[in-house]
Amino acid sequence: MKDAIHPNYITDTKVSCACGHSFVTGSTVTEIKVELCSACHPFYTGKQKLVDTARRVEKFQAKQAVGSEMKDKVASKKAKEVARKAKKAQPSITKQ
Question: Which residues 6+ apart lie within 8 Å of 51 measured at CB?
Answer: 35, 36, 42
Mean pLDDT across the chain, nearest whole number? 85
Return the sign of the alpha-carbon dihedral for residues 24, 29, 33, 37.
negative
- What pLDDT digit, counting tens, does each position of 9-36 carry? 999 999 999 889 999 999 999 999 998 8
The ranges assigned to domains in the chain are 1-49, 52-86
For residue 59, the surrounding DSSP H or E stretch is helix 56-89
The model carries a pTM of 0.45
The fold of the 1-49 domain, in CATH, is Rhinovirus 14, subunit 4 (4.10.80)
